[in-house]
Structure 1
Amino acid sequence: MSWPRMGLRVLLAASCLLLFASVAPPAAAQEFKLAMSSPPTSMDPHFYNLFPNINVSDHIFEQLVAMDADSHIIPALAESWTLVNNLTWEFKLRKGAKFHDGSPLTAEDVAWSLDRPATIVGSPGKFDTYTKAIINKKIIDPYTIQLTTREPYPLLLADLTSIYIVSKKATQGLSSDDFASGKGMIGTGPFKFVRFQRDDRIELERNNDYWGKKPAWSKVTLRFIPNDATRLAALLAGDVQAIENVPTPDLAKVRSDKGLSFYSKVSHRVIYLYPDTRREKSPFVTDKDGQPLDKNPLMDVRVRHALSIAINRDAIRDRVMEGLSEPTINLVPAALFGHNPNLKPPKYDPETAKKLLAEAGYPNGFGLTLHTPNNRYINDEKIAQTIAQMWSRIGIATKVEGAPMSVYAARGAKSEYSIGLLGWGAQTGEVSSPLRAMVACDNPAKGMGAVNWLKYCNPKMDAVLAKALNSVDDKERSGLLQQATAIVIEDGGVIPIHQQVTTWATKKGIVYVPRTDERTHAYQFYPQ
């Protein structure tokens, strides 16, 4: 058995770590204030697989293996790993890694952390998607653990980048709500938890016993400022030293300001629409007079294709995103494993869209409400409003309803919408991540369909995906993943719009290492 791509990833990642270590300045007793665009909904690192939650958890907790800035797998709390056989992986833990309370990291904490996500109750998006493949955990000694999968499973390392290791002693018996008060917030990461003020800020202090490179900052405040103008104003006023997600209308202003530095990177996050393909009657589909329809037009693939080709993705890139998006019909960017180069963004074609609607039995269109978050993705509600205008031109009278992500996600997870806008980042560094989470037939027992809120299901795609997930041959697996993606797109199971381009801005004299996964880490900002 060979693992050429995984080996290359680790080699490249190790080189990156050496580079960063060589340029990073020594830790200095400074305070750093960073403005984030979305607040976390939970401080429990195993409760809800939502990006703002993950972004915060990264500062306090760590995984066995992690992703570097280019989504290559690198060692973290596991300093090495080996394949004992086709089904068993052995991990050696860092003996110098300690929890923030001074207790050593042990294999028992790892086993506990891998078991805990499945016990979480009431999560809108569970982390046990990434632990389902593990059927046995064997502690060899305090610093060695073996994980066994039911079948050969090449994605185990990638999955483990999403599971945070917590202290068994500190978290046993706690509810997820307890974490907001600081209980259980005992990680091994570069920062220690100090205080959390919901929807406002989290305060951290440097972990001086951290096993890795010490952060440059002795104190960090992560401020949550969803309003774009307010976030930028905080940077310009010096209330914070850095922000994420520079407002697109202000890009030229930020780039030309000599007192600021600007950073950007193409993200692995796809912004997409998910239609209701399953229910005969859908709650927000009506006739042109607003009366409920007896039959849901979104069940017809011709209607779904009409919706897709009626979207002018280039116009969204140029007019809404100010160039900071890459139009796509794929689920991951070209740089990621499993990208299908044969799937090209469809040409904007409203006339053909009208013909498809007529063929489907809707020559005069129908009414539709498009739901969207309004504080989660770059210009999320503006994108939805623009799409609504485009759909109205082909006879689909479209209304937009936006809501904060916490409200939007709670309703979406209950299948309350007819079509919605959402984003998903390929957390595993390949297309299997969105395929499993977004479009695989809902199967919590197998960790499938974590954000498949409207229960799209295509057994043909699922069969191809299952074969890919059991293949240890990279060439074969890539082909299968490309095939699975094509099945979903041709079926209109989801409608991709674009890949985000993520942006950051800092005060002059502060540098940042931009990341493909969009994460904003205070410990990756450095004073020059």
Structure 2
Amino acid sequence: MNSYSTSLAAGLIAASALAGGASAQQLTIGLASEATSMDPQFHNLATNSQVRQNIFESLIAQDALQGLQPALATEWEAVDDTTWRYTLREGVTFHDGTPFTARDVIYSYCRVPLVENSPSSFSIYTQSVTAMRAEGDHTLIVETNGPNPLMPVESSTIAILSADAAGAEEEVVFNGEGCEGMGTVPQATAFNDPAVSVGTGPYKLVEFTRGAQLVLSRNDDYWGEAPHWERVVLRPITSAGPRVAALLSGDVDLIESPPIQDLPRLEQAGFNVVDTLSNRVIYLAPFQEDEAPSLTGTDGANPMTDPRVRQAMSLAINREAIVERIMNGYAEPAGELLPPPMFGTSGRAVDPYDPARAQELLAEAGWPDGFGVVLGTPNDRYINDEQVAQAVAQMLTRIGIRTQVDATTASQFFSRRNNLEFPLYLAGWGASSGEMSSPLKSLVATYDREAGMGVTNAARYSSEELDTILREAMVTIDDEERSRLLQEAETIALDDFGILPLHYERSAWAMKPEIAYEPRVDQYTLAFAVRPADASAGD
């Protein structure tokens, strides 16, 4: 069995356990951001993925450091350069009691490109698959359009649905031109119904009330280790203050993304606090087509098509100050799209803070008096996202790029971003694969929805050279050569200032002293992984 694992230095802040214990009946978690859909294939977004993993599983799972672990597949192997064999776990049933077979996997892969209006499609992880066939109920053969060394990693991102619950025909046939036997494919809103949201995971969906709560119940027939809690309530509490207040008052047992300025107070009050460096990069994306919205003082031109202007924007940003003053040290300045030493990184230096040189570059590009721009940002998705955006706006304004911040809730922001409404936006990307092809394929590859490339590239950066090298990297089996190619592709984008990395987040969780949670580099809050503090000892 092949496995790919990546490790990052993780910090653990331990607090002493107090008397008492959380109820084994119910666990209540305060989430910083609400899932946009119960459809596990609708939106490639961390807030959705962390919820779906409680209900729907993949062939392969990732541990807290993104190492690969058996899940619905017990083994996987490359038969040859373009063929993979998966041995599927026997004795697994869906929440409705129907058995899990290779048919369900084929259906799930077939559905991914059929999901309508996906803000960020999972097709980036399925576009290499050209054929799938079952050899019995528990062996799956997958063929790809070329060597795909990341096939196991990509398999960890695709949720496996129940073909029966989705209304598929008895025989589902994978066909690259359009699968057969799919029936009427349910779309995103249908998955609000527990009768459709049928997975194999440790929890079942009971209720999804948008803006209020998501309720799960324990799957007593789960094939793996039984989760501790009989009932889980996930409450979206998007404002940081009320989220902390809910923990202090006992209304919730655990919260994600506690305000970093409150961590010392929470520890002093006896709560457990854990944190780790994440794989999430916060970045700026300047729009790079000729016609850009919401620009002023440009006579209809888009200055950001000039790499000198984009370089000026990068040099205007004091990343160290943002980390120190806004993130209170719970971040690291970013020079790349993933923190070194993750796979495919080069150790590139962080762009320096040099506002004088930034002004020179603007003048060289023909914009000595600058211009006006709107910076779009979510205000409830990333750690201190709106505050970071306001700081960036002030820094850009000082060099003559007069910047106004347009901050909205995450759901509004992502919709508007994908409609190309922002000439400049702040967002984040966590690499679900734990290696460089993930941000490259999604954020800077030339936008091509049918090919599953650049699906989150709402700045429309494009480099034919980068695309060529990235495609080569994606079919290169040799790890050392693939890493070199990924470094080369990333360097092209960064030398073009096609995307501007700001910082890597550190992720924190705070919880009652009687429960424990292992911090994850992917920032996921997984209810099934929350345990009583005494049960986690020695893990």
TM-score tier after normalising by the smaller chain length: over 0.9
Please give the TM-score of this superposition, normalised by the length of structure 1: 0.93
Q: 1:197 and 1:335 mapped to 2: Cα distance?
A: 41
Q: 1:315 and 1:362 mapped to 2: Cα distance?
A: 26
Is 2:39 the partner of 1:37? no
Q: 2:223 and 2:384 mapped to 1: Cα distance?
A: 39
Aligned length: 502
Q: 1:410 and 1:31 mapped to 2: Cα distance?
A: 34
Q: 1:501 and 1:35 mapped to 2: Cα distance?
A: 18
Matched residue, 2:434:
429
Is 2:288 the partner of 1:271? no
Is 2:475 the partner of 1:470? yes
User: How many Å apart are 1:523 and its aligned residue?
Assistant: 1.2
What do the CA deviations read for 1:164-211 (whole angstroms, capped 9, x no partner)? 001000012323211113231111001011111102210011111111
Q: 2:300 and 2:97 mapped to 1: Cα distance?
A: 63
Matched residue, 1:20:
none
Q: 2:78 and 2:366 mapped to 1: Cα distance?
A: 56
Matched residue, 1:162:
157
Which residue type is aligned with residue 175 of structure 1?
Q
Matched residue, 1:232:
244
Q: 1:516 and 1:7 mapped to 2: Cα distance?
A: 17
Asked if the contact 1:327–1:499 (Cα under 8 Å) also holds between the matched residues in 2, the reply is yes
Matched residue, 1:19:
none
Matched residue, 1:23:
none
Q: 2:41 and 2:158 mapped to 1: Cα distance?
A: 8
Q: 1:218 and 1:207 mapped to 2: Cα distance?
A: 8
Q: 2:140 and 2:35 mapped to 1: Cα distance?
A: 32
Match of 1:525 among 526, 530, 539: 530
Is 2:226 the partner of 1:214? yes
Please give the TM-score of this superposition, normalised by the length of structure 2: 0.91
Q: 1:90 and 1:169 mapped to 2: Cα distance?
A: 24
- List aligned pairs for 1:63-462, cutoff 5 A: 63-172=58-167, 173=184, 174-258=186-270, 260-279=271-290, 281-287=291-297, 293-341=299-347, 343-462=348-467
Which residue type is aligned with residue 369 of structure 1?
V
Q: 1:423 and 1:408 mapped to 2: Cα distance?
A: 12
Q: 1:9 and 1:46 mapped to 2: Cα distance?
A: 24
Aligned to 2:135, the other structure's residue is in SS state: strand
User: How many Å apart are 1:296 and its aligned residue?
Assistant: 0.8
Q: 2:376 and 2:430 mapped to 1: Cα distance?
A: 20
Could you tell me which runs of 5 or more consecutive residues in structure 2 were left unpaired when the two chains were aligned: 8-21, 168-183, 535-539
Could you tell me which runs of 5 or more consecutive residues in structure 1 were left unpaired when the two chains were aligned: 13-26
Which residue type is aligned with residue 132 of structure 1?
Q
Which residue type is aligned with residue 225 of structure 2?
K
Aligned to 1:481, the other structure's residue is in SS state: helix
What do the CA deviations read for 1:229-252 (whole angstroms, capped 9, x no partner)? 000100000000000001122122
For the aligned residues, what is the CA RMSD?
A: 1.5
User: How many Å apart are 1:91 and its aligned residue?
Assistant: 0.6
What do the CA deviations read for 1:3-57 (whole angstroms, capped 9, x no partner)? 9xx54649x9xxxxxxxxxxxxxx9842110111111111111111122111111
Larger CA deviation: 28-37 vs 429-438: 28-37
- List aligned pairs for 1:504-519, cutoff 5 A: 504-519=509-524
Q: 2:85 and 2:205 mapped to 1: Cα distance?
A: 31
User: How many Å apart are 1:346 and its aligned residue?
Assistant: 1.4
Structure number with higher helix proportion:
1
Aligned to 1:141, the other structure's residue is in SS state: coil
What do the CA deviations read for 1:396-455 (whole angstroms, capped 9, x no partner)? 111000011111111111111101011111111101000000010011222101101122
Aligned to 1:71, the other structure's residue is in SS state: coil
Q: 1:385 and 1:285 mapped to 2: Cα distance?
A: 18
Q: 2:55 and 2:234 mapped to 1: Cα distance?
A: 12
Asked if the contact 1:60–1:193 (Cα under 8 Å) also holds between the matched residues in 2, the reply is yes
Which residue type is aligned with residue 222 of structure 2?
Y
Is 2:63 the partner of 1:58? no
Matched residue, 1:486:
491
What do the CA deviations read for 1:334-362 (whole angstroms, capped 9, x no partner)? 13110111x11111111111111111111
User: How many Å apart are 1:101 and its aligned residue?
Assistant: 0.8
Seq. identity, %: 41
Q: 1:455 and 1:397 mapped to 2: Cα distance?
A: 22
Is 2:44 the partner of 1:49? yes
Q: 1:375 and 1:272 mapped to 2: Cα distance?
A: 16
Which residue type is aligned with residue 386 of structure 1?
A
Which residue type is aligned with residue 55 of structure 1?
Q
